[in-house]
Amino acid sequence: MVEFVAERKHRRAQRPARSSSRPSQKLKAIEGLRKTMAFFQPSDWHEGEKAIHKRTGVEYNDNPTSPFLYPRAANQVARYPLLAVGTLDSDDNPWCTIWGTGEPPIAQAIGQSILGIRTAVDASFDPVVQALYQGKSDGEVLREEGTSRLISAMTINLEERGRVKLAGHLIAGALNTSTSPDDSVQDPSTGKAGEAQLVTKITMALANCPKYLNKKIITSATPTPKLLSTSAHLTDAALAIIAKSDLFFLATSHEHEDMDCNHRGGPPGFVRVEQPSSPSSPSSIIWPEYSGNNLYQTLGNLETTPRAGLVFPDFSTGDVLYVTGETTTLVGAEASNVLAKSTLAVRLNVTAARLVQTGLSFRGTPSDDATQGLSPYNPRVRYLLSEHNDPTTNVEAGSSPPANASLVAKTRLTPTITRYRFALDDPGVFGPWKPGQYVTLDLSSELDMGYSHMRDDDPTSLNDDFIRTFTVSSVPGTLGAHGEEFEITARSVGSVTKWLEHQRPGTCEAGVRGFGGDFVFDWGDDGDQKKRRVGFVAAGIGITPLLGQMGDITEEIIASSRLKVWWSIGLKDVNLALDILQTYPRLSGAMELFVTGTSEAETDPAGTTDKLVATGVTVHKRRLGREDLRRAAGGVDDWYICTAPAMRKVVQGWMPDKSFVFENFDY
């Protein structure tokens, strides 16, 4: 090292004066910089990417994909614990897999744009392993001669919400499999673990945003693969993995030119399945394409080569589902006619599948925080129209609501609950609505800010159509000169209700998509039917379906004990109960109130609880319990419930022999 420094000083001393050559050297430097920057000139979009940009009406700018493994990407690859890998099998079917370890690196740069991969794998049933190694599993080195095979990958760190897409060609590899004590008696459905080594040439790299990545902590595990199914008609176990998945990985190709590997994430259940009744018919998988970076590289591949390979990992058990199939990209009305509230979606008809028990080399646990690691950008689950079709909420993007309603009055009932009165500009558009129905309001014209790549201050708004349903809490036809007015009673919990909370009567207008729902008590008063006895369980704002039906709930119904109401409410919301009982005093004889929060530091300075007792209603300063309902079960014919899903599940568990009617607003 000392000799090298001395030699360098000697060379400096021998250099000629630079004054005369400085201009030419500067020009050479600029020319060299220009040539270097040529490496960063954007790649052209291929015809599929151009086609999907045109179909979606999105203008495409420069392609930001790097044609080499740049230093930051190389650093991320070496640190990240998961690597999704895609390739084509001998029939050109794309397959995708996911490898991982709790002790990175799983891959690292070993040369200029050369990536080395070394990881534990399922050596028997992983379709990517089989496609890459073509049966060589004894450590024999596989070298690519001539045209090397395409490969794509995504390195991902769920704990950091970081990911980088990679693509290129296979150079070489080797697969070593573990040996069992007696291979001769091994069950064909029981596979082996192995160690895969790959060397790849990276020709494309691109970092992606953290949206829709749900945080998980990754630990290592040893694969003990067992093949459970190869049916394209997905089994119940396969469907269960999809139902709980909050992410999957997919591989696509642009003919035989290049490949792409990417991730799709969302709330658990965001992927939906159309399951044909015939066990010989293949399943179809449908997922929404949420707002992203608008590059559409995956969808561009599907335009030219409509096939994709998907992998659904079960992070808790190590089970894994691989599928490959033919795809259709649904745009605009094509999407909304299949998947509610969607303007872009993909349908994959399964052509082949593999369900493998404990085939993964890792496990993952959700981040230990208040959200269990769920991304703040996750929208709510969107359901297939075949699962739930509500024409008032599932509308084509950009279409105008058929009517408008003006805010004419508002009353603050509690710190978070407000009653709003609206007047329809043309009540004849919908005709009379029914007791117990909901109204669908469209506030998109006020709240939709258009496209943004990221929006950390309001992440859910990126995929929000700002269409909401609210139970009508007034009796139909009783408000306004011609019955054109209606009321909703809503808690301020999201962007729409928070916006409404700040509006003044006379200055606010909302689009109205329609009225719907059939959450109506059946009293059995028509014809020769037996007079029915109704039990209604409500929590918080869930009391509103009762209010819209008060026109049908007579003194006779109350006096004959044909209505029983159990209402759980927090101390902060007791003024809502007082307002309702003062408006409909006959309810006090049919209702039991369960006020929670009374044992905490919360106080009731206005003495509202005492005022409630004065109305004659029964007040319990505790939670609703199993025995409260079971004691009255013999006097109830039909049960109705309007609570949050978690409480609904608990109440139904208290009385498994009873059937509860409820309106599902989970969509």
Q: Which helix (H) or strand (E) holds 285?
A: strand 284-288
Longest distance between any two alpha carbons in the chain, whole Å:
116
- Judged by average pLDDT, the poorest of 175-189, 202-216, 475-489, 643-657 is 175-189
Q: Among candidates 40, 38, 56, which has minimal Cα distance to 48?
A: 56
Q: Among candidates 411, 409, 391, which has minimal Cα distance to 401?
A: 391
What is the arrangement of strands in the sheet containing 563-570, beginning at the earlier edge strand? 618-620, 591-596, 563-570, 534-539, 638-642, 660-661
- pLDDT score of 295: 94
- pLDDT score of 348: 99
**What CATH number labels 403-516?**
2.40.30.10
- Judged by average pLDDT, the poorest of 41-45, 62-66, 315-319 is 41-45
Domain 534-661 adopts which CATH fold?
A: Rossmann fold (3.40.50)
Each residue of 282-294: pLDDT tens digit?
999 999 999 999 9
Tokens 């998961």 map to which residue?
82
pTM reported for the whole predicted model: 0.82
- Judged by average pLDDT, the poorest of 277-281, 316-320, 437-441, 463-467 is 463-467
Q: Do domains 403-516 and 534-661 have the same CATH topology?
A: no
Residue 22 has pLDDT above 70, yes or no: no
Q: What is the percentage of the chain residues whose pLDDT exceeds 70?
A: 89
Domain parsing of the chain, residue ranges? 71-180+187-366, 403-516, 534-661
- Kindly calculate the radius of gyration of the chain based on its CA atoms and give it in whole angstroms: 31
Each residue of 293-345: pLDDT tens digit?
999 999 999 999 999 999 999 999 999 999 999 999 999 999 999 999 999 99
Distance of CA 150 to the CA centre of its chain: 30
Mean pLDDT, rounded, for 191-200 = 96
- pLDDT score of 458: 82
Chain length of the chain? 667
- pLDDT score of 453: 80
Average pLDDT, the chain: 90
Each residue of 554-583: pLDDT tens digit?
999 999 999 999 999 999 999 999 999 999
Q: Is the peptide bond before 105 cis (omega within 30 degrees of 0)?
A: yes
Quick one: three-class SS letters along 21-70?
CHHHHHHHHHHHHHHHHHHHCCECCCHHHHHHHHHHCCCCCCECCECCCC
Residue 667 has pLDDT above 50, yes or no: no
Q: Among candidates 236, 96, 240, 90, which has minimal Cα distance to 165?
A: 96
Residue 384 has pLDDT above 70, yes or no: yes
Q: How confident is the model at residue 32 (pLDDT cuts 50, 70, 90)?
A: very low
Quick one: three-class SS letters along 384-437?
ECCCCCCCCCCCCCCCCCCEEEEEEEEEECCCCEEEEEEEECCHHHCCCCCCCC
- pLDDT score of 15: 47
Domain 71-180+187-366 adopts which CATH fold?
A: Pnp Oxidase; Chain A (2.30.110)
- pLDDT score of 31: 52
Q: What is the percentage of the chain residues whose pLDDT exceeds 90?
A: 76
- pLDDT score of 265: 97
Q: Which helix (H) or strand (E) holds 202?
A: strand 193-208
In whole angstroms, give the CA distance from residue 521 to residue 639: 9
